[in-house]
Amino acid sequence: MRAVLIKNDKGPSENLYLGEVPTPTLRPTEVLIQIKAFGLNRMDISQREGHYPPPPGSSTILGVEFSGKITQLGTGTSRGWKVGDEVLGLAGGGAYAEYIAVNETHIIAKPSHLTWTEAASIPEVFLTAFLALVMIGQVKEDDNVLVHAGASGVGVAAIQLARVYGARSVTATTSNQDKINWLLGLPNGATHAANYKTEDFSAVVKQITGGKGADVVIDFVGKSHFNKNLDALAVDGRMTMLALLSGFVVDSVNLAPILLKRLHIEGSTLRSRSLEYQAALISRFSKEILSKITGESGDGPIRTYIHKVYPWTEIQAAHQEMEGNKNSGKIIAEVV
């Protein structure tokens, strides 16, 4: 089969190329899927650069989310899947390819109102946002929520989920006015926004919440935002840390807010979770959230926002777009 490969196993986007590899063979509980579209994620860039190895047992090919059709069933599958079923799914790797083998617990029937590209834009970002905001962050009605990297794939998923769970305010941070306008203009988008380059987001959140602060913070930024996040959090506030985009080491921290405000700070990586954990998450998400998601032109309370769709023959350009922080929402590649 054809797959996107990396010349010298790692390097810049120019090292990506379409090559030939063996079609995956199935373990008993896996299904083989012919991929129609796959989503790009920030981690694909880290993996391409050699900084993020796939979890043990996963394909070394890039790509953790996809949509497509089942073409073969493993001998031990028992969940009623049929050849020809249209699905979307999550994987430890291997989605930048014509075919992928995944455990039958890691696919969801594709709702017929979603296109292949819309379906491929859902698994990684929505499962991550659901885990961070609902399962770890325990978001509830009337909470004030702060979502960093608001226009990222995960960010815009978290913003919409927070609104659906009845948040009183959802403040998004991002780097420029175009992204701010976009986030404030979405049907269930941010209620407030701050440009983290020119504004103190902690002061903005306090002003919006009458001094109370954010009950839930979703952070991807780490170092540069850490002290301001502690300041922005409300008493009994919860912060889920999903990435460290600005750096790993904070020069100086005042620990007092953690103690005095009884803060909960938890890190999470979806990709490193066990297959059983991921399967339970996928099952819960399918039951509680999937039916609320439509494409951008649909009328769902939650929508998929696709910045741009590339044919996978232009995978280098797709990676460059994401690396340049140009996207508002998801970048998707179609297997053609």
Ligand X SMILES: NC(=O)c1ccc[n+]([C@@H]2O[C@H](COP(=O)([O-])OP(=O)(O)OC[C@H]3O[C@@H](n4cnc5c(N)ncnc54)[C@H](OP(=O)(O)O)[C@@H]3O)[C@@H](O)[C@H]2O)c1
Interacting residues toward ligand X by CB under 6 A: 41-43, 124-125, 128, 149, 151-154, 174-175, 179, 220-221, 242-243, 245-246, 268-270, 322, 325, 327
Give the nearest distance from C-beta 305 to ligand X in angstroms: 10
The angle, 0 to 180 degrees and rounded to 10, between the axes of the packed helices 275-288 and 123-130 is 90
CB–CB of 143/169 below 8 Å? no
CA distance 142 to 318: 38
DSSP bridge partners of 69: 34, 86
Q: How far is the CB of 328 from ligand X (least distance, A)?
A: 8
Task: Considering the complex, state which of residue 42 and residue 106 has its C-beta at the smaller distance from ligand X.
Answer: 42
Residue type, position 36, single letter:
K
C-alpha–C-alpha distance, residues 133 and 285, integer Å:
12
Minimum gap (Å) between residue 72 Cβ and ligand X = 29
Closest CA to 195 of 214, 229, 217, 172: 172
- Residue closer to ligand X, measured from CB, 10 or 79: 10
Type and span of the H or E element at 162: helix 153-164
Supply the minimum distance, in Å, between the C-beta of residue 104 and ligand X. 22
The number of CA neighbours under 13 Å toward the Cβ of 284 is 13
Closer by beta carbon to ligand X, 36 or else 330: 330
Rounded CA gap, 267 and 32, in Å?
32
Cβ at position 306, least distance to ligand X in Å? 11
- Provide the minimum distance between the beta carbon of 28 and ligand X in the complex, in angstroms, as a whole number: 28
Nearest distance in Å: CB 177, ligand X: 11
Is 104 or 124 the residue whose CB approaches ligand X more closely? 124
Judged by beta carbon, residue 34 or residue 269, the one nearer ligand X is: 269
Helix (H, G, I), strand (E, B) or coil at 299: coil
Query: Residue 184 burial (CB < 10 Å; 0-12/13-18/19+)?
Result: middle
If the CB atoms of residues 91 and 125 are measured against ligand X, the closer one turns out to be: 125
> Are 91 and 64 contacting, i.e. CB atoms less than 8 angstroms apart?
yes
Using the minimum distance from each CB to ligand X, give the nearer residue, 87 or 270: 270
